[in-house]
Amino acid sequence: MTNLPLARKSQVVLLAIVTSIFFFNFLSRVVLSPLLPVIEKDLGLDHTTAGGFFMMIALGYSAGLLGSGFVSARLTHRRTIALTAVACGLAYFLIAAGQTLWMIRLGLIFVGIATGIYLPSGITTITSSFPPVHWGKAIGVHELAPSLAYIGAPLIVEALLILCPWQAILALIGGVSVLLGLGFLRVSPGGDFTGEAPTFVNIRILTSKPAFWIMAALFCVGITASMGVYSMMPLYLVAERGIDRSMANMLIGLSRIPVIFMALISGWISDRIGPKPTIAAAILFNGVTAILLGALPGRWVVLMVFLQPMLTVCFFPAAFTILSRIVPPRARNLSVSMTVFIAYMAGAGFVPTLLGVFGDRDAFGLAFILIGCATLLSALLLFHLNIPEEQQGEGTEGGTH
């Protein structure tokens, strides 16, 4: 076992491949959002049932996160990442072939499980391959994947719906995911070491840290501001604001283009001013824009569609940097999996379902206002967050490179 990061060329190759895997991992979870108006009409669903699809993904995702340590402890992080891409693709084949609502729900749970296993191994592989001083920038590049997926999902959907039904779109995404997973297994230069499986001892050590619970709560806010809001945005714009579906998806896709620039500099910002101030700025901005998204009248909502996601992407590199500091190197995958397990269930599962309940009562706007208020209040937690100083020599979770 060594503690040396990869050589520069290998770092670039690894980061490019892992970011590509993460793009399709994330696309698999958000592509349902622009398809939701079509699926609702095709299957005769109400907003609550449609929003419940995201709860199925969240349930599976959370289970995948919890089980990720057991998988990476046996397969290594490299093989785990490849497995997630292949399994996600196969799950989408099941959904595309599904003839009943329950088969679709089962497929979405499998999508969640497959994609949930990825994140701890992905983050651990990156932090093991770069020195701590560059973690923010490396994770910032990795966070380009969600930004590109947010842009690509509505644009891909609108382009392909002209040519094929929604089932074929899901099958196509699944096929590409399978190919990426197999390709990664063949050429990946890093992550060839095992993770740490959860035990009652290390779970107790992790959950005894106040910083863990604060970060779990802040991640709830971050995932709500990103995936929770995005998941139901097309339905909100179409059903309550009266915007045409194609126009709504186009606006949502275009609104994520400026976020790419923010993703590129988010890691630099975190490394420059520190993760704590970065998180504070992102939370305060997200809270205000969420309130205005629900409160502003008429076409002013379009402005908020563009502003709301602007600083969301800045949250995650800073937050993952803190998560990597509050635990010993070998337990970082457990830190990520436990934190995101709690946050994803709330932000990407419960929140979209709750938005659907409000939407069935023509109260989408009120729901966004309440989300914004809760987001602003969460900033108070930062006063109680103590971050350990980074230690020289941190850079791996262990294993052979």
Within 13 Å of residue 225, how many CA atoms lie on the same side as its CB?
34
pLDDT at res. 286 = 94
What gap in Å lies between CA 83 and CA 113, rounded to an integer? 11
Are the CB atoms for 151 and 256 separated by under 8 Å?
yes
Measured over the CA atoms of residue 17, residue 19, residue 25 and residue 30, the dihedral's sign is negative
What pLDDT does residue 340 have? Answer: 83
Confidence of residue 394 (pLDDT cuts 50, 70, 90): very low
pLDDT(243) > 50: yes
* Per-residue CA distances from 25 to 106, 115, 117 (Å): 18, 6, 10
Q: What is the mean pLDDT of residues 34-38?
A: 88
**Predicted pLDDT at 289:** 94
pLDDT at 225: 92
pLDDT tier at 297, thresholds 50, 70, 90:
confident
The model's pLDDT over 67-91, given as tens digits with 9 standing for 90+, comes to 888 888 888 888 899 999 999 999 9
Q: What is the pTM of this model?
A: 0.75
Instruction: Supply the pLDDT for residue 267.
Output: 72
Q: Name the average pLDDT for the chain.
A: 85
Q: Per-residue pLDDT tens for 182-226?
A: 888 887 767 667 777 777 777 887 888 888 899 999 999 999 998
**Quick one: average pLDDT of 228-244?**
89
80 in Cβ contact with 185 (< 8 Å) = no
pLDDT at position 369 is 95
Please state, in angstroms and rounded to a whole number, the distance separating the CA atoms of residues 201 and 29: 32
Q: What is the pLDDT of residue 279?
A: 93
Q: CA-CA distances (angstroms) from residue 191 to 130, 182, 336, 400?
A: 12, 15, 16, 9
The residue ranking higher by pLDDT, 349 or 135, is 349
Write down the pLDDT at residue 7. 62
Q: Residue 51 and residue 270: Cα distance in Å, rounded?
A: 33
Pick the CATH number of 8-186+201-384 from 1.20.1250.20, 2.120.10.80, 1.10.150.120, 3.30.565.10: 1.20.1250.20
